[in-house]
Structure 1
Amino acid sequence: MKRLFYIDYPQEHFEGQAHRYRCAHCKQETTKINGRLEGHLASCEYRIRLEQAGFECNQPSPLPHEDMADEVD
């Protein structure tokens, strides 16, 4: 099974940061997770639980390099 987004994981605030959150299990920042199961660490309790329940990671999409963002193909 696949979901479009995986956003039901427990989150916690970064200390002293009003708008920054991270996974309560693997401590990855939510902007790095970006709603993807593979955004969590392989050892993350949330990811392991969903993978055991039959959910699959989406194919990793290549992230554009910031240093090449303005170049033309």
Structure 2
Amino acid sequence: MRRLFYIDYPQEHIEGQAHRYRCAFCKLETTTINGRLEGHLPTCDYRVALEKAGFECNRHSPIPHEDTADEVD
């Protein structure tokens, strides 16, 4: 079973940053996770729970726009 996006995980604000958040379990930034289950660490409680419930990662899908992202703003 798959979802288009996985965005229902608990998030916490990164101190000292105005608009940056991270997963409350694995501490990866939401921009790194990018709505993907495989964006969480393999040991993340959220990811582990969903995988046990039958949800699958898209392990072979590339990160969108990785090759066209600006390195410097």
TM-score by length of 2: 0.83
Runs of 4+ in 1 over 4 A off after TM superposition: none
In structure 2, the residue matched to 1:47 is 47
User: More helix by proportion, 1 or 2?
Assistant: 1
Q: Which has the larger radius of gyration?
A: 1
Could you tell me which runs of 5 or more consecutive residues in structure 1 were left unpaired when the two chains were aligned.
68-73
Q: CA deviation at 1:62?
A: 2.5
User: In structure 1, the residue corresponding to 2:22 is in which secondary structure?
Assistant: strand
AA partner of residue 17 (structure 1): Q
CA RMSD of aligned residues (A): 1.6
Q: How many residues align?
A: 67
Gapped runs of 5+ residues in structure 2? none
| 1:24 equivalent in alignment to 2:24 | yes
Percent identity between matched residues is 73
TM-score between both structures, scaled by the size of structure 1: 0.83
